[in-house]
């Protein structure tokens, strides 16, 4: 590698490091804002606290500010790339939130009658604006891309069945972007196949 190429590579690496740090900062801020907004929404619906409309509006404003940050938070990128509706993105957040805050399942149970301490389509319809029945379709992104799993028993209605976000998606939204372990044994890194940057750039 020539001296000029080495210098450019060093500059690129520093820029990438800076971008990664900003990405982590933005993602953490977004998740904090999203969970705070969701908690207030759940508490209001469950009538377990004294959440006011003003507090909920302020939390929503903070969330919208976090959504507009650059680089975009992981869930926002996912929503854009897979063309999720806002309602679908909120349902995905509903599934991921259980992994981020231990108090949330209890609120799910209270709102759903005391036993169902897990996210459901029914809960999403109760909580979020602009609900749409097509969210349950296998052709919509949540199910088509297997972002969520429906744990439906033989007699359980689809709307009340437990939902679970795919582990890889949960970790991606947290900011942990890695190769899915279900694919790790089937693929090789580009460099391990004997290709360098030059060959890659010329493709």
| pLDDT tens profile 69-108 | 999 999 999 999 999 999 999 999 999 999 999 999 999 9
Helix (H, G, I), strand (E, B) or coil at 150: strand
* Position 3 pLDDT exceeds 90: no
Tokens standing for residue 134: 């097509």
What span, in angstroms and rounded, lies between the C-alpha atoms of 187 and 39?
Answer: 40
pTM metric for this prediction:
0.81
State phi, psi for 110 to the nearest 5 degrees.
Answer: -60, -45
What span, in angstroms and rounded, lies between the C-alpha atoms of 39 and 102?
Answer: 11
User: Where do the domains of the chain lie?
Assistant: 3-201
What span, in angstroms and rounded, lies between the C-alpha atoms of 9 and 186?
Answer: 30
Tokens standing for residue 196: 């360098």
Q: List pLDDT tens digits, range 121-175.
A: 999 999 999 999 999 999 999 999 999 999 998 888 999 999 999 999 999 999 9
């Amino acid at each position: 590698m020539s001296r000029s190429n080495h210098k450019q590579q060093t500059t690129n690496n520093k820029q990438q490091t800076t971008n990664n740090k900003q990405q982590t900062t933005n993602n953490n801020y977004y998740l904090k804002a999203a969970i705070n907004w969701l908690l207030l929404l759940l508490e209001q619906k469950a009538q377990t606290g004294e959440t006011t409309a003003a507090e909920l509006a302020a939390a929503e404003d903070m969330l919208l500010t976090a959504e507009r940050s650059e680089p975009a938070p992981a869930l926002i990128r996912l929503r854009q790339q897979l063309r999720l509706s806002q309602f679908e993105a909120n349902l995905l957040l509903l599934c991921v939130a259980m992994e981020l805050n231990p108090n949330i399942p209890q609120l799910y149970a209270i709102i759903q009658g005391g036993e169902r301490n897990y996210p459901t389509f029914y809960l999403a319809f109760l909580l979020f604006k602009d609900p749409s029945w097509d969210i349950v379709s296998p052709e919509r992104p949540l199910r088509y891309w297997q972002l969520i799993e429906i744990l439906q028993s033989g007699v359980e209605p689809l709307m009340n069945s437990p939902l679970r976000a795919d582990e890889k998606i949960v970790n991606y939204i947290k900011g942990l972007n890695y190769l899915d372990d279900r694919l790790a044994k089937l693929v090789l890194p580009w460099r391990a196949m004997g290709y360098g940057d030059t060959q890659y750039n010329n493709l």
